[in-house]
Structure formats: structure tokens, C-alpha cells
Amino acid sequence: MRQSIEALRHHIDRHCKAGRVETVVPGLSLMRADAPTLPVSCVYQPTLCLIVQGSKQVVLGDRIFAYDARNYLIATVDLPVTGGVTQATPDYPYLALSLALDPSRIAALLLDVPAVLAETRPAAGLAVSTVTDTLLDPVARLVGLLDRPEDIPVLAPLFEQEILYRLLQGDQGGILRQVARADSYLSHVRRAVAWIRDHYAEPFSIGDLAAQTGMSASSFHRHFKAVTMMSPLQYRTRIRLQEARRMLLADGQDAAGIGFVVGYDSPSQFSREYRRMFGVPPARDAARLRRTDGEARGLAYPP
């Protein structure tokens, strides 16, 4: 394990000098921070996140997920979280990577993986598990392709397949199988999540959304909350407020106008819910974010 970790530290240190870097390897991103960061709200998409130096904390609903080089974090559905680097210095920077998880590739791999008893109990869409040598080895080889870009088209898919295979063998194998199955409860929740993210400014009823997923309202609500750790309406509220925060920072529009754009009829309700989530009113928060350029960049800085 030490050899793989050292190799990953070396590659990330060379190829990522600050913030987040999207690499030429499809789906692979590198991250670096030279100091702890303030908690930042963002949306984690289906992803494998690995830290090779430093540590981070992610909050989903009322649960805290802390992880470092001894653990990996996996997200299996789009989740609005708040996270920040908790351990990093200029001499010992936070170094990490993320790899997007493609449900179609997992499904194809399942054809060759021995069947196991299906996971039927709803599980959270975010989890932390212990890193193993068998997982780190193909990850290190994948990141090592950054020094040999001519090998990426042939070898990157093979290394990614091995990574997915190791994940399927690990603690989160059951939930990953749910990602790949079109008829699983997780796939139903993922479809509902995608609809809410595309229509967050529109009103909806739980019954109508449940019908789209083919579940009863009570079953849908239970499974949705088990996966996302919040109700569908709470999920929509978080997506609305995170999008409002992004608009405030990027577009410079007035807070009341942005509140209407993201779906609020009442400026006072928008300001009240925004303050409850971010700690300060919209306009003051936008001014603070513009002063702290590092956190502003962090708005789109998942793992």
C-alpha cells in the first residue's frame, strides 16, 4: 500500500499545483489544497474519491463523513453536501483524486462477475470504506498514465474496469450493483433525483414523482430518504439554495430576483431559508464569497 500511496502523491503533486484539475484521463480529476478550507456546498455526482494526503469532512443531511488516506468515499447518486478540507499545510498539502462512476460500465462488468445475493435494504448514497492494496494498485496505474498520454486510449478503460471490479468486491459492492440495475430501488431514486435537479424551480407532488419511479408514495419517500438522508422537498430546497448561491457569485444579480428564478415566490422565505443553510443572508454571503476567492472557487470543488 505504501508504494501505491507514494506513487499517487508523486503524480498528483506534479500534475496538480492548485485547486481542482480535470485530467486528460476521462472522468479523472485531481485536487490540491495547501490549507484547511471553509465548508463549501456542492453536489457530489456518482464518484469514487480517494485522499492520498491530508483529510476532509463531508456533511450530508445530519451525518458527518470524515475520511483520509486510510479510507475512500463513494457517492452513488447526485447528493447536495457540504464539505471542507480539515488537514493541509504548504509542506503537507491535501492531495486527492476523484473518478466518475459510469453505471453502464458497472452493468457491463456485472455480466462477468459472479452473482451475489442482491442488496434489497435501502442504503445511503454516500459511504466511507477502508482502502485496500488491491484497489490502490489499479488507481495508481490509472493516474500514472498522465505521464504516458499515448497509452490512455488503450489502458485507461482496462484500469478503470479493474477499479470497478475491486469496488464490487469490497464493502460497497452491494450498493454499486444497485447502481447498475435498472429495476433497483437506487435506480428509481436516481431517476427522481435527476428530475428534481432538472426541475428544481417547479412545484411537484410526492405522489406524481413516486408514480414516475413506479413506487407507492410511502415506499418512494422511505427509499429516497434512506439514500439521500433527506426528504424530496428537503433535497429540492438544498438544490435551489446551492444554485442560488452559485448565481449570486457568478452573475451578480440581486438576491430577490435570484430567489424568484430558483422557485421562491416570497423573498422573505428565500432569505430565511438561505440564512438557515449558509448562516448569513444572501447578499452578505455573496460579498463574503467574493472576498474569499479560494472558497469561491471551492463552490465547484467536490472531492
Q: Render pLDDT for 85-136 as a digit per residue (tens, 0 to 9).
A: 999 999 999 999 999 999 888 888 887 776 654 555 667 889 999 999 999 9
Instruction: Report the Cα 160 to chain-centroid distance in Å.
Output: 18
Tell me the C-alpha distance between 295 and 124, whole Å: 27
Tell me the C-alpha distance between 128 and 46, whole Å: 14
pLDDT band at residue 155, thresholds of 50, 70 and 90?
very high
Tell me the C-alpha distance between 83 and 20, whole Å: 15
Task: Answer whether residue 200 shows pLDDT above 90.
Answer: yes
Predicted local confidence at residue 294, as pLDDT: 47
**Where exactly are the structural domains of the chain?**
2-180, 185-230, 235-298
Instruction: Report the Cα 128 to chain-centroid distance in Å.
Output: 12
**What predicted TM-score, i.e. pTM, was given to this entire model?**
0.84
Please provide the DSSP assignment of 110-151 as one string.
Answer: HTTSPP-PPP-S---SEEEEE--HHHHHHHHHHHHGGG-GGG
Residue range 235-261, pLDDT digits in tens: 999 999 999 988 887 766 788 889 999
Among 232, 237, 235, which residue's Cα sits nearest to residue 264?
237
pLDDT band at residue 300, thresholds of 50, 70 and 90?
very low
Predicted local confidence at residue 62, as pLDDT: 84
pLDDT band at residue 178, thresholds of 50, 70 and 90?
confident
Task: Work out the mean pLDDT of the chain and round it to a whole number.
Answer: 88
Predicted local confidence at residue 146, as pLDDT: 96
Q: Which residues contact 189 (CB under 8 A, 6 or more apart)?
A: 77, 125, 213, 223, 224, 227, 228
Q: Does domain 2-180 have CATH number 2.60.120?
A: yes
Tell me the C-alpha distance between 62 and 120, whole Å: 24
Above pLDDT 70, what percent of the chain? 91
Neighbours of 35 (CB within 10 A): 12
* Superfamily for domain range 235-298: Homeodomain-like (1.10.10.60)
Tell me the C-alpha distance between 143 and 4, whole Å: 11
